[in-house]
Amino acid sequence: MDSKVVFNMTICLLGFLILLIHIVNILFKKKRRKDENSLLSFFIFTAFHFALYFTFVLIKEVYTSDPFIISFYTIFYIMNNIEVLLFYLYMSQYMNTVSKSKRIIDIINIVLFSLFVISDIVNIFTRMYFTSTNGVYTRAKLMIISQGYQFVMLVVSLLLVVLDKKLNIREKVSFSLYCVLPAVSIIVQNALSGYAIAYLTMFVSVEILFLFLNVEKNIKIEEDEKKLKEANVKIMMSQIQPHFIYNTLSSISTLITINPKSAQQALDDFSDYLRMNFSSLTETRLIPFANELSHIKTYVGLEQLRFNERLKVVYDIQTLDFSVPPLSVQPIVENAIKHGVIKKEDGGTVKISTYETINAYVVEVEDDGIGFDIDKVDFVSNEHIGLNNVRHRIISMCKGDIILDSKKNQGTKVIISFYKE
C-alpha cells in the first residue's frame, strides 16, 4: 500500500471509531432533545460514510474494474450531498428559526439536492464529472460542478449562522467551522489528487461541532440549574409570607379556646405546610402528584380556618398516577384563593381537576373570583410572580406547559399540562 492509501484508510477508520463512541453516547442518554435526534441521524450516516469509503479503498487494492469504480464513486458523490443535507437539517432544528425566507431556503435546498443527485446518476452514462479507464478514476473537466450543491449550501448555512441573533459565540464558531472547512476542502481536493482531504476535514469538522456544542449544552444545564434554584427560593419566599403566618397562628390561637382538638390538628397541618415549603427549596426531583395534592389540601384547610363559608373548594381528581415538580400546583391554588374568590364580598369556589389525555396529564385550577384582564397583567409583579416562577419550574423540570385564561368579574382558569415522555 502506498502512503495515500494508508492515509485515507487511517482517516476513515479513526473517524468511524470516534463517531461510533458519540453515537453510543447519544443513544444511551435518558432524555434526548429533538435536535439531538437529528444529530444522531447525521452521525450514523457519517459513520456509515466513513466505513463504506474504508471498505472501498481496501477492495480497490485488489479489484479495479471500470463498472466497480464508477458505481462506487457515484455512490460517494451522492453521499457527500446527503452529508451536507443532513448537516443543514440538524443546524435548522438546532437554530429553530421560523420565517418566510427560511422556508424559501428550505425549498431551494431540496430542489438543488434533487437536481445534483440526478446529475450524479446521469454521469454514469455521460461521464461529464468523472470516468474510469482500466480501473483508474479520472476526473472530467466539469467535475467541480458536481460539488456545487455542497458549496452553495455550506455558504448559505454559514450566512444563516452568522446572521442568527440567538446563537452565542461558541455556537456560531462550531457551526461556522463546519461550513468553512468542507467548503475549503472542496477547493483543496481538486488540487491534491489521491488524498481524501474531504474526509479529513469532515472528521475534524464533526469533532469540533460535537465538542463545542457539548460544552454549550453543559453550560446551559448549569444555567438552568441555577435558575431553578433561584425560582425555588422565590417560590418558597412567596409562600411563607409574614401576614399568612400571622393570620394562621391567630386563627389557631382563637380555635384553642373553642375547640382544642381542632386547634391541635390545625397546628399539625401548619407544621406540615411549612415543612413542605422548606423542603422544596433544595428539591430538584419530581414528586408524586398525590403528595402535591396533600399539600394543597393542607393549605386549603388552613385558609378555611380564616374564611370559613366564604371559601369552598371542589376536587374532581380522575387520576393521581403522575409526577410534578414540588410546589407547582399549590401556588396556583393559592393565587385562585387570594387574588380570586376572597376578593369577592361573598367569597366563591375553587375547583381542582385532574385528567389524562393521550399526550399529557392535565391539572386544572378554576375559580369564580373577580378575574382580570390578561393583557394588562404584569407577571413579574408581586401579585403574579408566583405564577411566573411556577411556569419556569414546570418548563425546566418536566417540559410542561401552563395556559392561563381569565375574564374580569367572571373568574380565572389555569390549565397545567405535564407531558408524557
pLDDT at 97 over 60: yes
Identify the domain boundary among 193, 223, 253.
223
pTM of this structure: 0.56
Residue 160 lies in a domain: yes
pLDDT at 200 over 50: yes
Residue 230 lies in a domain: no
Q: Are residues 213 and 258 in the same domain?
A: no
pLDDT at 397 over 50: yes
For 350-388, what is each residue's pLDDT tens digit?
999 999 999 899 999 999 998 887 766 555 444 555 677
Q: Are residues 24 and 169 in the same domain?
A: yes
Q: Are residues 325 and 383 in the same domain?
A: yes
Q: Are residues 44 and 173 in the same domain?
A: yes
* H/E stretch holding 209: helix 197-239
Distance of CA 217 to the CA centre of its chain: 10
Residue 400 lies in a domain: yes
To 10 degrees, what angle do helices 289-307 and 260-279 make?
A: 130
Identify the domain boundary among 223, 253, 279.
223
φ, ψ for residue 390 (rounded to 5)? -65, -40
Residue 212 lies in a domain: yes
Q: Are residues 209 and 263 in the same domain?
A: no
Q: Are residues 268 and 142 in the same domain?
A: no
Q: Are residues 163 and 259 in the same domain?
A: no
Q: Are residues 218 and 176 in the same domain?
A: yes
User: Considering its fold, how many domains does the chain have in total?
Assistant: 2
Instruction: Write down the mean pLDDT value for the chain.
Output: 84
Q: Which residue has the higher pLDDT, 253 or 300?
A: 300
For 24-38, what is each residue's pLDDT tens digit?
988 887 777 777 888
Residue 228 lies in a domain: no
What is the arithmetic mean of pLDDT over 140-145? 86
Residue 249 lies in a domain: yes
Q: Are residues 95 and 14 in the same domain?
A: yes
Q: Are residues 216 and 298 in the same domain?
A: no
Which domain CATH number covers 168?
1.20.1070
Most confident of 61-65, 132-136, 286-290: 286-290
Q: Are residues 117 and 24 in the same domain?
A: yes
Q: Are residues 274 and 387 in the same domain?
A: yes
Most confident of 27-36, 201-210, 335-344, 360-369: 360-369
What is the arithmetic mean of pLDDT over 276-284? 69
**pLDDT value of residue 34:** 74
Which domain CATH number covers 263?
3.30.565.10
Domain containing 71 equals 3-223
